[in-house]
Structure formats: C-alpha cells, structure tokens
Structure 1
Amino acid sequence: MNYVGNTWIPLPCVLHAGGHQKWATALVAVVTIPIVVLLISGQGAALPDMVAAGIETVAPTAILLLFAVLYFGIMMDAKLFDPISRGIIRLSGGDPVKICVGTAVLALLVALDGDGTTSYMIICSAFLPIYRKLGINPLVIATIATMALGTVSGTTPWGGAATRAISVLQIDATDYFVHMLPAMLLMSATIIGLAYLLGRNARKKITPERIAEVTAHVSAGRHEESSDGSLRTKATWRTWVNASLTVTLLVLLVLGVADLLVLFMLGFIIVLVVNHPRPADQGDVIRAHAANAVPVVILVLGAGVFTGILTETGMTTAMANALISLIPDGAEGLIPAAAALIGIPLSFFMANDAYFFGIVPVLAESAAQYSIPPEEMARAAVIGQMAHSIGPASAPLWVLLGLVRASLGDFQRFAFLWVLAASLMYIVFALLTGAISIGL
C-alpha cells in the first residue's frame, strides 16, 4: 500500500492483475494511476509541473531507444548475422558440442537487437534444423537462447529491462552500462561454457553414425540452403560495412567517446544511407520499424509521468522509509546484493512493468538513504532477467516454445537449474567487477 496525501492505494498491483488478466496496459497504468491519485489527494494544480519534470528526465532515454531500435532493425533487415550463422555451422562440422557453443555465440550476438521474438526466430531458423537432424533435444537451443537474451538484451540500455530501470530511476544510460559491461561479458563467456556442457550431454545420446551423416551434410554446403532449396544470400560489401560500423559503435560506446544517444543517432543515419540510398526507401524503412520503436518510446515517456509524480509527491520516499525500517542495523551495505538476489524470483513471477515500475523505485529510494547510487540498484535489478526469460510473464518465450514445439512445464523443468546457476553467477560477476558493491 502506498500513501499519497491522505490516500492509500496498492499502486504496484494495478500494473498487473492476478492470473493472466491485466486491468490495463502498462502505458495506461503508469500514466493514469498516479494522475488519478494526485487529483484525489488534492494536488492537481501541481500536475503540469510534475509531468513536465518527469518527461524531461527520461527524454534522453527515449531518444536513445528510438534510434537504437531503428538501427538494429536495419541490421536485422540486412541479415547481418546470416554469414556468421553459416560460418558457425560450417566450423562445427556436425559436432554437437561445437553446434551448441555456436548457438550460444550467435544467440549472444543477435540479442543485441533487444527484441526477444526476433532473436528467437533468427536463432531457431539458423540452428533448429541441424538440431533436429542430429537428434539434439530442442530444449537445449531454447535454454541457451533464453540465457543469452536475458543477459544481453536484459542488460543493454536499449533492451526492455534496462530501459525501464534507466527511465524510472532517472539515471544516465552510459554510466549505467559502462560499469555493467565487464560483468555482462563475463556472463556471456559463462553462457558459452554452459552451452559446451549442454553440448557434451547431448553428444552422449547421439550415435557416431548420425554425427558422420550430419558432418557430410554440412561439408556439402546443404546447410546454406533455405527451406525452399535456394541458397541463402551471401555477404555483400554492405554486410561488411554494417559489421564494421556495429563493432565501431560498440567500441566507441565502451570508450565513452560520446553519449549513447549521439552514437546511435549518427550510426542510424549512416546505416540508413548505406543500406537504403534512395530517399523514398528510407521513409519506408523508418515507417516499417516504427511499429517496434514507437511503443517503447511511448512507454518510456509514460514512465517519466509516473516517476515525476511519485518523486515530487514524496510517494517513493514514504515507501522507502517503511522498507528501511525492516533492514537490520549494519546490513545496509548488503542492499544492492540483496536486491539482485530477490530480483531473480521476482523477475521470474512478475511482468517487467510491475517489477521495474512498482518494486525497483522503492528499493532504489531505500538504498539512496545509505548513499547507494541508483545506477547500482539498476544494475542489480536487471540481473534477474535470465529468470524472467523462462517465466510465464515473458511474451517472447511463448513464441520460442512454439518454434521448438515444447510445453512451458517441460521447458522450465529442463532449463530451471541451468538458468538459476547462471543468474547466481551473474551476481558474483557483478560483485567482482564492482557493478554492484557490498559495503560492510
């Protein structure tokens, strides 16, 4: 229950109702509910200033997301990762271990797009046929894909989870990400290692004859055929330009040469002109990807309204003070690590909107009472995204289950321990690299 003026309201609960039925979309909830509460509390006169202040704080994040989504949309249209997937399969030589490791490498790369559905479709279209030909359990590819998406898309500032954390906590995206990047890279390497173990387990169940047959299939180049029997598009000069620009963009990001929104704005303009030199085509491309970009941007602006009202009215502070009273003396420095730990089950069971808009601001405000920066709490909050990626509230997961033809229960029984172990390791990496700290 949250207190505003003389009114109590169960704010986090309205974001996602019990069961599978929602009371409202996330945008409607995060904008309407705080406004209604503000009006009821008799503070309506301050509404315009509060809304303007909130939107002003999230505007840079909204711009970043707009251009990042458009940028990676063009990369997906250009099939940037097709040559990589063909090369990985060719290098695997039909070995299940190498195929699983290659799946992890491709999954981590395509997760940069930030869209789970797109990532799963690319991974499955590239690797699922060879999994079935070898007889590898398709739940293996699903487990690897969800861990990769939860790590990369869940951590990058243009991914859905970090987007919410950055906007609701009103923090700088570059500062958040640069300090989280080492932990993300270590976790990515760990996922490749876990894929190796999954591949070892799979290879024990496959006969040498079947492996030899698939090896011959790959050696003949038949893995490069589309479903209709035609050869897939080969790499062109534009592919190399796209790849070089993407690598350069990530390097500049790490070096902190400019703000993320500036880098992605310039990067988008370059790839737009390179891949679609005709002005008429450029307009069509922007309109085509607006369907993915606009909802995310609107949600961030809605989050600005939400946080502006919560901050200016003192709602978040009141809730944080209540939470602080439960923290034992001397344990305040454990707040970031504790937040990361409890974020694993919360992320599994809750929708991201309810978690990041209802829970994370309270945790961050509580931490602020002990001079723990909000950037650190944002990093702690996103660590649970691997667990979220296998939970029932993850919409892209249902697409993945359809692709691999598996039930949610079967998949969760197979993937749960792998994902739990990986999530706990992510916390360890975040602590070791200083992304989150323990102050005793």
Structure 2
Amino acid sequence: MLAILGLATIVVLLVVIMTNRMSPLVALIAVPIIAALAGGFGLETSKFIIAGIRSIAPTAGMFVFAIIFFGVVTDAGMMDPIIDRILRVVGTRPARITVGTTLLALLIHLDGSGAVCFLITIPAMLPLYDRLGMDKRILALCVSMAAGVNFLPWTGPMIRSAAALKVPVTDIFNPLIAVQGVGLLFIFIVAFLLGKREERRLGLSGTAASAGGDDAPVGPAPRVLTPEQIKIRRPKLFWVNLILTAVIMGVMIEGAVDPVVMFMVGTVLALMINYPDVKMQKDRVDAHAKAALMMASILLAAGVFTGIMSGTKMLSAMAQSAVAFVPPEMAQHIPFTLGILSMPLSLLFDPDSYYFGMMPVIAEVYKTLGGNPIEIAQASVLGQMTVGFPVSPLTPATFLVVGLCGIGLGEHQKFSIPYLFAASVVMTITAAVLGIIPF
C-alpha cells in the first residue's frame, strides 16, 4: 500500500510540474500532504514536515545569502571585466562558450559538491549568456552534465554505495575511470553541438564567416550600462570584490566553514565595503529579495516533500517492492538493466533511500544468483543521483540550478533529461563493452 501510494505521489508530482498544472511551490507542498493524509498518517504529517524543513534549512539559508552576495558584487561591477575578458577569449562564439561552461563546471566540481559547482559556475557565466541572448536552458544543462558525469570517489553516490556494500570505494570507482572518460567526451560533444546550434539560431555563423573567420568580432556589441547601473557600480573596488569572492569560495570549497555561514559573512562584508550608506545597503538587499524569497520558499517546500516521503516510509516501501518484480532468470542482465534505468530512478528515489534501501536488496539478490554485488554499485553510479541529481525534484541542487539560471523547473527537466539520460546510457553501454558489468 505504501509503495503504491509513494509511486503515485511522485508520478503526480512530476506530471503536474512538468505540464505546468501547478507551480513547483504548490506541488511540492500540496501533493505529499494529500498523500500522507490519504495514507492515514493524520496529524503525524506535521512532524514529517518539520523534520524535512529542518534538514533543508541550511541549504535554503545558503541559497538566500548566495543570491544576495552574488547580486551585490555583480551590482558593484565585479563581473563586468570578467565577462569582457571571457568575450575576448571565446570570440563571442556560443560553441566555445558552452564548452567553456562545461569545463569550468567540471573543474569546480572536483570538490564533489554539486551545490558549490552551481553557485560558482552559473553566476559567473549567466551574464554572458544574457548578453549574447543564448538559451539559458543550455547553461543549466552544461553545468548539470559536468557535475553529473564527474562522479569522483568522494562524491555522495560513490560514498553511499561503498558504505552500503561495505567495500573500498576504489573497488567501485577505479574500473569506471575509462567509462567516465567516455562520458566526459560525450558531454563535451553535446555542449559543442548545442553551441553550434545556438550560433545558427542567433545568426552568428554566417556573420563570422563573412567577417573573416573564427575570431572576427561577431555577436552583440558590448553592453551599455544604464544610468542606474552606473550609479551603483564600484569599478575601483573590482580587485577587493574579486578577492573577497575568491576567499569566500575557497573557504567554502575547502570545507572549513559551512557554506551558509560563509555566504552570510560574505554578504555582510560585500555590503559594508561597496555600500557603506545604510540606505544603499537596504536598496541592494531589496533589489534581490524577491529572487531570494522565491527560491527559499521552493527549497523549503522541497523539504516538505522529502520529509513526508521519508517519514511515512513510502520511499523505503517503494525500494523494497521494486526488486520483487525481477524474475530469477533475468539475473545476469540485472546490472546492465539497472545501469540503463539508473538515471530515471533519480526521479523516484533520493540517494539515501536508493543506496541504503533499494541497492543493497538488489545486490543481495544478485549475489545469491551468482553475481558480484560491486557490479550493482557500479551500474547504479552511472546514473542514480549522478547525472540524475540535477533534474530530480528530490534534491535541493535541482532548485539551485533552475533558480540561478532563472528558468522553470519543468522546462529544465524537459530540456535536460534526454541529454542526461543519453549520457547515462552511453556510459552503461561502454561499461558493458569493456566487460565491467555483464550484458
């Protein structure tokens, strides 16, 4: 009963969001509450909600102050010289920009944190996409692909899978290095092709060719600031703001201080340094308060959803029920099938319920039938909460992506899921061809 109720809840949630029948805020709160009440949990539902909100609060706080911090330093003009430099380096060619976005996200995600990757990469690249008129869904996809395929030994799915099977993480990761290499090649090809498509859409290819080649000055003219923007710019404080941002990011990536604390401190310092006048400080906060409040409310709503789904045990019931449908004669095909399904499973199971609930059961069934449980873990990390996490409504990182890019959750999912699923399938086939998992 719980498994059916849980599946119905997630299906309804995905449908109403992706078809724009409900806003994410409304759907993430209303759908799970209705499901919990229908399941007979009554007033106990409120306890699940509070637990979910409590778990998501640091992320929501981080996001609020991240929006204000990046908004303040951008208002002060820190991004202007950086964007101009990037424009000169890439020649305002979208194909170079998309590849550069993917590479930047890949490098930043070396620390294993998707949230940090998105918080650094998207604000840095978004003004460039806006200036050129490029599709911001491509920005969201590029950072999602880079963070998703970059499943390193210290990332969440790898750590969870090793802990669940009680094996060294290197036993799972090392055989997948070549597979990951193929996945990285795939996402860079996708980024390049999408960039070329943008060039054709924006009419830049023909202009560049007629102007004399790749490095010809194509695209829009340099941005002209409005009087209001000039008034709040602080060009003389460029290096101060850049150093402040670098310190905030460095300490956060190093992990010495919690991200929400660093962004709170950074916001205070950015306001005091650039706008000592109290009225101007209030004006700068007010300018970004709408975006901060909107995304904070969605993140807290996501806490309601995950809190109810976990507290009612619907997620764990779904995990236990799913493996009952695998016929014994299909045992040898379990890893490959799981690899193909691993990315879509990110839309149904949060990482804890999958890696600590569903995966150990599948691995035990596979072991009983003569297989190596490590192959189940390897198949799982090829998609489940790796390439799948930036589009899953079960992770706050998804809402970071759409919030920072300024796009809707539904349009992000509809645009990105096919490419992310393709990356997972390519890596799964590669793993089978190399003999890492049986076909």
TM-score of the superposition, structure 1-length normalised? Answer: 0.59
Worse-matched range after superposition: 416-425 or 236-245: 416-425
Q: How far did residue 34 of structure 1 move?
A: 3.1
Aligned with 2:100 (options 97, 101, 105): 105
Q: Distance in 2 between matches of 1:192 and 1:210?
A: 27
Q: CA deviation at 1:38?
A: 3.2
> What SS does structure 2 have at the residue aligned with 1:383?
coil
Instruction: Specify the alignment match of 2:142 in structure 1.
Output: 148
Partner Cα separation in structure 1 for residue 321 and residue 301 of structure 2: 26
Match of 1:243 in 2: 242
1:88 aligns with 86
2:389 aligned with 1:381, yes or no? Answer: no
Q: Which amino acid aligns with 2:298?
A: L
- Which residue is equivalent to 2:111? none
Residue pairs, 1:14-413, within 5 angstroms: 14-17=12-15, 21-91=19-89, 100-102=95-97, 104-105=99-100, 112-113=118-119, 122-127=127-132, 145-151=139-145, 210-212=210-212, 223-224=221-222, 226=224, 236-326=235-325, 329=331, 337-338=339-340, 340-342=342-344, 355=347, 363-364=354-355, 365-367=357-359, 369=361, 380-384=384-388
State the alpha-carbon separation in 2 of the partners of residues 17 and 143 from structure 1. Answer: 20
**Separation in 1 of the partners of 2:195 and 2:299?**
40
CA distance in 1, matches of 2:313, 2:302: 16
Q: Per-residue CA shift, 1:24-77, capped at 9, x if unaligned?
A: 333333323333333344432423433332222222222222222222222333
Distance 1:333 1:31, change over 3 A: same
The change in CA–CA distance for 1:27 and 1:195 in structure 2 (over 3 A counts) is closer
Whole-Å separation in 1 of the counterparts to 2:138 and 2:60: 30
Aligned to 2:369: none
Take 1:215 and 1:238, find their aligned partners in 2: how far apart are those partners?
31
Q: Residue 191 and residue 329 in structure 1: after superposition, are their counterparts in 2 closer, same or farther (change >3 A)? A: closer
Check whether the contact 2:33–2:45 (CA below 8 A) recurs between aligned residues. yes
Q: Partners of 1:338 and 1:416 in 2: how far apart?
A: 13
CA 1:273/1:39 → structure 2, altered by over 3 Å: closer, same or farther? same
Distance in 2 separating the partners of 1:294 and 1:359: 25
Q: Which residue of 2 is the match for residue 166 of structure 1?
A: none
Which residue of 8, 11, 15 maps to 1:10? 8
Correspondence for 1:351: none
In 2, the alpha carbon distance for the partners of 1:113 and 1:378 equals 24
Matched to 1:89, the amino acid is: L
Given the two structures, how large is their TM-score scaled by the length of structure 2?
Answer: 0.59
Question: Deviations 1:259-292 (Å, cap 9, x if unpaired)?
Answer: 2222222222222222222222222222322211
Q: Classify 1:249/1:422 alpha carbon distance in 2 versus 1 (closer, same or farther; 3 Å).
A: farther
CA–CA separation in structure 2 for the residues paired with 1:192 and 1:8: 36
Compared CA separation, residues 332 and 191, structure 1 to 2 (3 A): closer
Q: Give the match's secondary structure for 1:248.
A: helix
Report if aligned partners of 2:208, 2:217 keep a CA contact under 8 Å in 1: no
The answer to whether the 8 A contact 1:386-1:419 is kept is: no
Task: Verify the 8 A CA contact 2:28 2:305 in the aligned structure 1.
Answer: yes
Q: Secondary structure at the match of 1:264?
A: helix
> How far is the alpha carbon of 1:198 from its aligned partner?
8.0
* 8 Å CA contact retained: 1:83, 1:234: no
Q: Is the 8 A contact 1:107 1:148 kept in 2?
A: yes
Query: Shift of residue 194 of structure 1?
Result: 6.7
Contact 2:102 2:188 in 1 (8 A): no
* 80-89 or 358-367, larger mean C-alpha shift: 358-367
- Give the distance between the partners of 2:383 and 2:182, measured in 1 at CA: 15
In structure 1, the residue corresponding to 2:385 is in which secondary structure? helix
- Do the aligned residues in 1 keep the contact of 2:351 with 2:384 (CA within 8 Å)? no
Cα deviation, residue 321, structure 1: 0.8
**Separation of aligned partners in 2, 1:418 and 1:148:** 10
Q: Give the distance between the partners of 1:311 and 1:60, measured in 2 at CA.
A: 19
Cα distance, 1:320 vs structure 2: 0.8
Contact kept in structure 2, 1:58 and 1:304, CA below 8 Å: yes
Offset, 1:193 = 7.4
Amino acid at match of 2:281: Q
The equivalent residue for 1:176 is none
Say if 2:323 and 2:358, in contact at 8 Å, map to a contact too.
yes
Mapped to 1, the partners of 2:276 and 2:244 lie a distance apart of: 17
Distance 1:427 1:378, change over 3 A: closer
Q: Percent identity?
A: 23
Deviation for aligned residue 1:81: 2.7
Instruction: Show structure 2 runs of 5+ residues with no match.
Output: 106-116, 151-155, 157-172, 365-375, 393-400
Distance 2:6 2:98 in 1: 49
